[in-house]
Amino acid sequence: MRGFLNDDRSLHVAWIRMFDRVFATLKAGEEKRRRGRVFGFGPEVFVFWRAETVTFNDALLSLVVEALLLVSLIFEAQLWAVNGNSRCENLKPLEVRPHSVTITEFGAVGDGVTLNTKAFQNAIFYLQSFADKGGAQLFVPKGQWLTGSFELISHLTLLLDKEAVILGSEDSSDWPIDDPLPSYGRGRELPGRRHRSLIYGNNLTDVVITDSSDNVCIEDCYISTGDDLIVIKSGWDEYGIAFGRPSSNITIRRISGQTGSSSGLAIGSEMSGGVSEVYAEDLHFFNSANVAIRFTGQYGEHPDESYDPKALPVIDKITIRNIKGENISFAGVIEGIEGDNFTNICLSNVLLNVKQTPPWNCSYVQGYSDLVSPEICEVLSENIYPGHLSDCYFPFSRLQSSIGQETNALLPR
């Protein structure tokens, strides 16, 4: 929510458009001419409206109700921001973990050369004893910490100093080999088993990685990689469907980074379990990211012959706002699946410096946008504010739902 009022002009634009419409309605009516003025002071907008002998018709009443509900939304949004009701704020990792250790207590050396796999493994094994006592925190101080794969546990905060870097070992023997993920059924590039991820976990709850699959928060990270910076997946064909776990309720905030050949933010391409309610804000991509934003269900390969081509995922309510990018090849590739449109894709306050044309490639998607440069594709060009705010996902979406119900109840019929 940081920046919803102060860093984004979209609500201000909504105000201006709203009162332009109000005054146009007044002017077109038979009532006497009224005077209206809108003043802006810094991040807030104050409205002074003086009317003489106003006769409200249905159209004007609709606009006034809409304006009042927008006022309500702003005040509710301010309360939401102050009270910290986002998933990231609610975690409060520095307060809720009663037990804490530093990786150096287990012999780790942050010189970029010493292998620290055993130190990470031993530290996490020790902290597992506190899982039922409020959880624990593992602090990684300033340094370059070379390690192979290590496994997380539930009720753990992995807290990195702002100058701490975890480096993955280039020795394949430091990466254990596991069975394929249940939601994939086999290795994606090759059949059979697979190497573990650098930071690995299975069936975890209450895990925070901060500098921080459902109910996930990723925030305050710098990432440099040869693959996607942030990617959301949910399984491959019939295995993802059988696993039955959509990726949802995901908040991504304040991420910066670079990738030589992939995407800044990606959804898919393996997404058979579905993806919904994703909120990403304050992202900064630079230095030759191939595509800043990529959603695609068109992977083109299948794990075996048992997949069902008619089984289509639900991809809905993805909000992306406050995005900057320099030296980017393409702004975005947003591709749904024929017969299965991705819906309620919302982008606002996006500024990308791209090298290729056309900057956007969109197909089989539906959504809205405000303040996007370069100009977004036509299927996503309809404005978010004020008419489609409730169609977009924000972490305070219950508020949106209640506002939408109030609007329907109050507007004249």
Query: What amino acid positions are annotated as catalytic residues?
Result: 227
Nearest to 358 by CA among 381, 397, 384, 332: 332
Hey, what are 260's tokens?
């030589």
**Looking at the DSSP assignment, which residues form a beta bridge with residue 256?**
222, 284
Say if CB 23 and CB 38 are below 8 A apart.
no
Say if CB 331 and CB 295 are below 8 A apart.
no
SS3 174: helix
Helices 58-83 and 397-410 pack at an angle, to 10 degrees, of 160
**Alpha-carbon distances of 313 from 82, 183, 268, 355, rounded to whole Å:** 36, 14, 11, 32
Sign of the torsion angle spanned by Cα atoms 15, 369, 388, 24: positive
CB proximity list for 230: less than 8 A, separation 6 or greater: 218, 223, 252, 255, 264, 265, 266, 280, 283
CB proximity list for 207: less than 8 A, separation 6 or greater: 152, 153, 154, 155, 156, 157, 158, 201
CB proximity list for 291: less than 8 A, separation 6 or greater: 262, 263, 264, 328, 329, 330, 331, 332, 333
Say if CB 186 and CB 306 are below 8 A apart.
no
Q: Measure CA 24 to chain center.
A: 37
d(CA 324, CA 286): 8
Say if CB 113 and CB 146 are below 8 A apart.
yes
Burial class of 362 by CB neighbour count within 10 A (0 to 12, 13 to 18, 19+): buried
